Amino acid sequence: MNLSNIEQARFYMIEQQIRPWDVSDAAVLDLLATVKREEFMPLAQKSLAFADMAVALPGGQSMLPPRVQARLMQDAAVSPTDKVLEIGTGSGYMTALLAHQAQRVISLEINPEIADMARANLQREGIHNAEVRQADGSKGAPADAPFDVIVLGGSVFEVPQALLSQLKVGGRLVAIVGEEPIMHAQTITRTSETNFTATDKWDDNAPRLVNFPQPNAFKF
C-alpha cells in the first residue's frame, strides 16, 4: 500500500466499521485517525491492519478488531490525569491509544515475545508514558494501585476481585465478560470502598485472557 492508499483504508475503517458501531466520541475517532495501526501489526499481517477481524499474534494470541478496540476506548473514557492499567498488551496498539489520552499507562503482558514486540512498537512510535511489563495480568499491579481506569484487552468469565480492588473510588474497569456464544462488554465503576456498579454496554466475543478463573466445566 502506498501512503494515500493507507490513509484511504484508515478512513474507510473509521467510517464503515467504527462509526456505524456507535463510536461517536470525537477524541477516540481522532486518535484512530492519527495512531498508525499498521505500525503495530506483525510484519506478515500488515495488510490486515484495517480489516474488520482479529489478527493473529505469536503464542496463539490475537489483536482485537478495530471496532472492538474503539468501543472499549470509548467506554474507558480516559482523561489526561488518569493512571491506567491495561491487561493484555498484545501488539501495543491499544496501549498507544490509551497512552495518548492518559497521564501514564502500565500494561501487563504474560507472553515475553509479545511484550518485547509491543515495547519495540511503542518505542518506535515515540510513546514514552506507557510501560510494558511481562507479568500475569490476572494479578494486576497492586504495588502501583489504585488506578483510575483498568482495561482488559481480551475476555474473562468474570472479573476477579483482585483487579476490582485496584480501582480508585470513582474509577472504572472495562472488560468483555461471559461465555460464548454471547459475551457482554461491561463497565464496572467503584462507587465507594465497598461498592461497585456494573453496566452491560454491548455484545461481542473476544479471545480469553490467560490465567483468569474459568467456570466449572461440570453442568448437572
Asked whether residue 214 is assigned to any structural domain, the reply reads no
Q: State pTM to two decimals.
A: 0.95
Residue 219 confidence class, pLDDT cut points 50, 70, 90: low
Q: How many domains does the chain have?
A: 1
Q: What is the pLDDT of residues 13-50, one digit of tens each?
A: 999 999 999 999 999 999 999 999 999 999 889 999 99
Contact in structure between 139 and 73 (CB atoms under 8 Å): no
Q: What is the pLDDT of residues 109-125, one digit of tens each?
A: 999 999 999 999 999 99
Asked whether residue 208 is assigned to any structural domain, the reply reads no
Beta-bridge partner residues of 151: 86, 174
Asked whether residue 210 is assigned to any structural domain, the reply reads no
Q: Across all residues in the chain, what is the average pLDDT?
A: 94
Handedness of CA 105, 107, 112, 115 (dihedral sign): negative
Asked whether residue 215 is assigned to any structural domain, the reply reads no
Segment 50-59 long-range contacts (CB within 8 Å, at least 24 positions apart):
50/9, 50/10, 50/12, 50/13, 52/13, 52/17, 54/206, 54/207, 55/91, 57/90, 57/91, 57/114, 57/117, 58/111, 58/113, 58/114, 58/117, 59/111, 59/113, 59/114
Domain that residue 97 falls in: 3-203
Torsion of CA 42, 177, 164, 74, to 10 degrees: 60
State the pLDDT at residue 214: 83
State the pLDDT at residue 59: 85
Say which CATH number the domain at 19 has: 3.40.50.150
Provide mean pLDDT across the span 60-79: 95
β-strands 147-156, 167-179 pairing? parallel
CA distance between the termini of the chain? 54
Asked whether residue 83 is assigned to any structural domain, the reply reads yes
Written as one string, the DSSP assignment of 62-107 is EEPPHHHHHHHHHHH---TT-EEEEE--TTSHHHHHHHHHSSEEEE
Q: Which of 86, 76, 84 is nearest to 108 (CA)?
A: 86
Q: Is the pLDDT of residue 159 over 80?
A: yes
Residue 68 confidence class, pLDDT cut points 50, 70, 90: very high
